[in-house]
Chains A and B, each alone.
Chain A
């Protein structure tokens, strides 16, 4: 690691945080007081929205997206610094607040960080921001030297006039540069990728140091003077209302300040410490009217979805090319299979939480969010305050995976609590049990896939019918869903050759349909959103078709894969995994490939099954995401996707009994641990060609089907209903 690197300014840590230890009565209270605006030093020069230069030549790069572990902060800084030509060892990071973005008319663009957006949808404007700052700094130096700007060169933040040998650093001209009219962003010519020196390098992350000594402040760690702590308990059955409520005993418990219900659907206990609030919450006597959803269960939901597999009601025909049904009907061989994938919780390590301070005319929150502007909007709507009276202090989430995106349920809860105690900052923290049973679950779906083979074992047609819950419908409860074309639910099944989520296979007769079947369970964006379910269906089915065609699963895929980059990545994974070469006795391989978020992925899993016990030995992953900004972080995302994907395929399911989620904590919602981690090899292709694919989500799509296909190779049986724990020992 390069020790010279100046670590980023964490707004919650340096000048934005004041820690004072007051010892009194044996207690020490730490106050972490974050400020709201940027560190305002009159010596700093804001060259433009993205770049601030300090007199000591350090460059502050402002960062609008959310860093939640995926490394996008470092990658985006590399993009800015590449064009800025500053000294990378003097780069610092500042996180933009939504109120700053609002006040400056969206100067930093979109802040929402979902769908592998970070670099995929910001690369162009952040590089232009860096380039515009460089242009201004060079012009300021040219003015000072009184020479034409064309005669200047710059490297590592030092501007040199070759003719005279004079040089000057960024810090010395930044003040003048800040006064110059900004360059026209659109006409800036960005560097040719072949001249990149920072993009493509595995520089160490900029946000590591304070994660090693406990000094990084997450929202859950925020402490404000006079702050109280709240626990939030919602109806166990979604959509239930409180029937009887008796808080008299809870109110007598030590430290308790108040106990009250919220919108008749939840209650809170507020106390001096969170632990006391939790203890007192156990003394609240509450009963719920569960008549609306209390009889729903996994089996009733499953039956409802199953109906959607054959129904003519509420069907969205997404693709209909040729005549798939007829082609399959007339084929020499027909294959049909039904699959299912369950609800899944995100289970971020940091449970949902938010600190809120509400008064009559303003509100402020301290929140871990993937969607700072959505949080601000949620405050505004809930409290009836104008947007510019709602202040969001954003904290890097302790895991996101889509849970903290576009749905600000926990923000709404926190301000709903805090509005009842005006002027008192209140930290609301959910228990793990609350977090697990009140998630925004990956939508439950089922799929029926049919295909035909001709006498030469060529695919004649394919019919994919999906049935399940819509994220859009859940998030828009008042919208009319009749005939709604929900293209998010058919992610990864697109036929458009320009799409960034194409189905890997082509056949003249293709029918893709979606039957919307909504349940009472909240659904949201889980890592990969709807791709991991759809990729499992398609890739498990392709193996089943290959089996009927008596073809090798890799060769069969290869013969039908149309996209040249996808084909290249499929071939690469097969080569690296020694596909076709003999394996030790009892070890079997499975293969899968997929395209999503602009990125091509393929994976091979090696495993053995002994007396129903599955052991995964090795996973080989190959990825082509176009340009690779930081290979080390791409590798980390691939490994992380394998961990998240394996947890899901082996054990992951949230089941419904009497209307509620049964899984409550990591003891009954098992996730992968270090000792269960197989060896993972990653191969990253950087083919560029103006493609900036995502890396946070795409690779998870091949994990489940590759495991299932390897199990099928080992046992002769395809597991069609996830997770594996319901079929074999894992």
Chain B
């Protein structure tokens, strides 16, 4: 039994140790915003934050989790989609099919946490999640816009 703090709520989980966190989140906790795309950490659709760090949950097994680990999924990123990244995503109208966007948003929010004003080169090297619809130009635009939104809300 491992105690996890998922989106601020405590849950006690007991599953086979090799179960990936992705499937703990989807099948045991019942949060489905985190998506299965490849199972080998290639596409990033399963991206979550573990203790604040970006992680591809499809290869992060249950046995790697420690008691009290804090996990943030897309559902817990903010209340009412109010995170600057989510606001920018809405403003730029980023998503097409939307399937990869939970992961893209989790990656972008982690990027901004590390670098409050990333350059295009920073975005290029950090944003490695796959989008088959091809929303990349809008993702880039939205990340730059999220910086501005965050600046404004900091001033306020």
State which residues 193-216 of A face B: CB under 8 Å: 204-205, 207-216
Write out the residue numbers on chain B whose beta carbons fall within 8 Å of the beta carbon of A680. Answer: 137
Chain A, 631-689, CB within 8 A of any chain B CB: 632, 636, 639-644, 665-667, 671-675, 677, 680
Do A644 and B74 form a contact, CB below 8 Å, given A213-B86, A214-B31, A275-B19? no
B134 close to A642 (CB less than 8 A): yes
* Cβ contact within 8 Å between A674 and B140: yes
Contact A70-B130, Cβ < 8 Å, known A208-B90, A212-B101: no
- Interface status of A594 (Cβ within 8 A of chain B): no
- In the assembled complex, the CB of A637 is this many whole angstroms from the nearest CB of chain B, namely 8
In the bound complex, do residue A677 and residue B137 qualify as a contact, i.e. CB atoms below 8 Å apart? Answer: yes
CB < 8 Å neighbour of A674 from B39, B43, B93, B127: B127
Bound CA span A214–B105, Å: 10
Taken together as a complex, chains A and B put the C-alpha atoms of A640 and B135 apart, in Å, by: 6
Docked pose: A211 CA to B33 CA in angstroms: 9
A66 to B95, CA, bound (A): 16
Choice from B18, B81, B99, B129 contacting A399 with Cβ under 8 Å: B99
| Known contacts A349-B131, A673-B130, A677-B137: A26-B27 contact under CB 8 Å | no
Given A1-B93, A351-B36, A674-B124; A213-B81 close (CB under 8 Å): yes
Once bound together, how far apart are the Cα atoms of A173 and B40, in whole Å? 57
B27 cross-chain contacts in A, Cβ below 8 A: 229, 273-275
**A307 contact set on B, CB distance < 8 A:** none
Q: A29 on the interface (CB 8 Å rule)?
A: yes
Closest CB in chain A relative to B135 CB, distance in Å:
7
Question: Which one of A209, A214, A636 contacts B33 once the chains associate, using CB atoms below 8 Å?
Answer: A214
Contact residues, A202-253 vs B (CB, 8 A): 204-205, 207-218, 220-221, 223, 229
* Complex-state Cα separation, A29 to B13, whole angstroms: 12
The answer, yes or no, to whether A30 is at the interface (CB within 8 Å) is yes
Chain A residues within an 8 Å CB radius of B86: 212-213
Within 8 A of B (CB), among A267-283: 273-276, 279
Q: Closest Cβ of chain B: how far from A162's Cβ, in Å?
A: 38
- With A213-B86, A399-B133 as contacts: A26 and B93 at CB distance below 8 Å: no
Identify which of residues 61-97 in chain B touch chain A, using a CB-to-CB cut-off of 8 Å: 73-75, 77-78, 81, 86, 89-91, 93-97
> CA of A205 to CA of B78 in the docked complex: distance in angstroms?
22
With a cutoff of 8 Å between Cβ atoms, the chain B residues found around residue A279 in the complex are 16, 18
* Interchain CA distance A326-B69 in the complex, whole Å: 77
Say whether B52 faces chain A, with CB atoms less than 8 Å apart: no
**Given A214-B75, A396-B97, A675-B124, A349:B23 Cβ within 8 A:** no
A68 within 8 A of B: yes
Inter-chain contacts of B38 with A (CB < 8 A)? 432, 665-666
CA distance A644 to B134 in the complex (A): 7
Q: Report B79 CB to chain A, min CB distance, Å.
A: 9
CB < 8 Å: which of A210, A349, A642 contacts B45?
A349
Asked if A640 meets B133 with Cβ closer than 8 Å, knowing A69-B98, A675-B124, the reply is yes
Are B81 and A349 neighbours in the complex by a CB distance under 8 Å? Answer: no
Per-residue CB contact flags for chain A residues 584-621 toward chain B (1 = under 8 Å, else 0) read 00000000000000000000000000000000000000
B30 at the interface (CB under 8 A from A): yes
Contact B40 A667 (CB under 8 A): yes
Pick from B32, B73, B90, B128: contact of A221, CB below 8 A.
Answer: B32
Chain B interface size, under 10 / 10 to 19 / 20 to 34 / 35 or more: 35 or more
Of residues 491 through 512 on chain A, the ones whose CB sits less than 8 Å from some CB of chain B are none
Docked CA distance A628–B19 (Å):
48
- Which residue of the partner chain, among A209, A640, A666, contacts B43 with CB atoms under 8 Å? A666
Query: Which residue from B14, B31, B37, B127 sits with its C-beta under 8 Å from A675?
Result: B127
Kindly state the separation between the CA atoms of A218 and B43 in the bound complex, as whole angstroms: 18
Given contacts A204-B93, A215-B75, A221-B32, contact A666 B130 (CB under 8 A): yes
Q: Flag if A211 contacts B137 (CB, 8 Å).
A: no
A69 touches B40 (CB 8 A): no
Take A26-B11, A221-B32, A349-B43 as given contacts and tell me if A639 and B90 are in contact as well, using a CB distance cutoff of 8 Å. Answer: no
Report yes or no: A632 in contact with B99, Cβ–Cβ below 8 A: no
**Interface mask (B129-145 → A, CB under 8 Å = 1, otherwise 0):** 11111111111100000
Contact indicator A69/B133 (Cβ below 8 Å): yes
Q: How far is the CA of A671 from the CA of B94 in the complex (A)?
A: 19
A87 beta carbon closer than 8 Å to chain B: no
Interface: A103 (CB within 8 A): no
A656 to B130, CA, bound (A): 25
A69-B96 in contact (CB<8A): yes
* Residue A401 interfacial (CB < 8 Å): yes
CB-CB nearest in chain B for A210: B98
Interface presence of A163 (CB below 8 A): no
CA distance A1 to B38 in the complex (A): 33
* Contact among B28, B81, B132, B139 with A348 in the assembled complex (CB-CB below 8 Å): B132
The answer to whether A21 has its CB under 8 Å from any CB of chain B is yes
Q: Which residues of B contact A32 (CB under 8 A)?
A: 32
Q: Is the CB of A28 within 8 A of B134?
A: no
Pair A29/B30 contact, Cβ less than 8 Å: yes
Q: Scan B87-121; emit 1 where CB is below 8 A from any A CB, else 0.
A: 00111011111111110010000000000000000
Q: Closest A residue to B19 by CB, please name it.
A: A275
Q: B residues within 8 A CB of A216?
A: 33, 98
Q: How far is the CA of A386 from the CA of B34 in the complex (A)?
A: 37
A675 near B130 with CB under 8 A, answer no
A397 at the interface (CB under 8 A from B): yes
Residues in chain A near residue B51, CB distance under 8 A: none
A350 to B95, CA, bound (A): 14
Contact partners of A218 in chain B: CB under 8 A: 32, 35, 99
* Interface status of A148 (Cβ within 8 A of chain B): no
CA distance A223 to B125 in the complex (A): 36
The residues of A that contact B100 with a CB separation of less than 8 Å are 349, 398
In B1-47, the 8 Å CB interface with A consists of 1, 11-14, 16, 18-20, 23, 26-40, 42-43, 45
Q: Verify if B147 is at the interface (C-beta below 8 Å from A).
A: no
A27 surroundings in chain B (CB, below 8 A): 13, 28-29
The reply to whether B93 and A205 contact each other, CB–CB distance below 8 Å, is: yes
B137 — which chain A residues lie within 8 A by C-beta? 639, 677, 680
**Cα(A221)–Cα(B18), bound, Å:** 22
Q: Are B34 and A432 in contact (CB under 8 A)?
A: no
CB proximity of A259 to chain B, nearest CB, Å: 18
A215 & B33 in contact (Cβ 8 Å cutoff): yes
Contact across chains for A30 and B133 when beta carbons are under 8 A apart: no
A359 beta carbon closer than 8 Å to chain B: no
- A sample of 9 inter-chain contacts (CB < 8 A) reads A69-B133, A213-B77, A214-B31, A214-B74, A218-B99, A431-B39, A632-B93, A639-B134, A677-B137
- Other than A351-B37, A632-B93, A666-B40, give 15 A-B pairs with Cβ distance below 8 A: A1-B93, A21-B30, A28-B11, A212-B101, A223-B32, A276-B16, A349-B133, A350-B97, A351-B36, A431-B39, A639-B138, A640-B134, A643-B133, A667-B42, A677-B140
Interface residues of B (CB under 8 A from A): 1, 11-14, 16, 18-20, 23, 26-40, 42-43, 45, 73-75, 77-78, 81, 86, 89-91, 93-102, 105, 123-125, 127-140
* 4 pairs of A and B residues whose beta carbons are closest in the complex: A214-B33, A643-B134, A398-B99, A30-B30
Residues of A within 8 A of B (CB): 1, 21, 26-30, 32, 68-71, 204-205, 207-218, 220-221, 223, 229, 254, 273-276, 279, 347-351, 396-401, 429, 431-433, 632, 636, 639-644, 665-667, 671-675, 677, 680
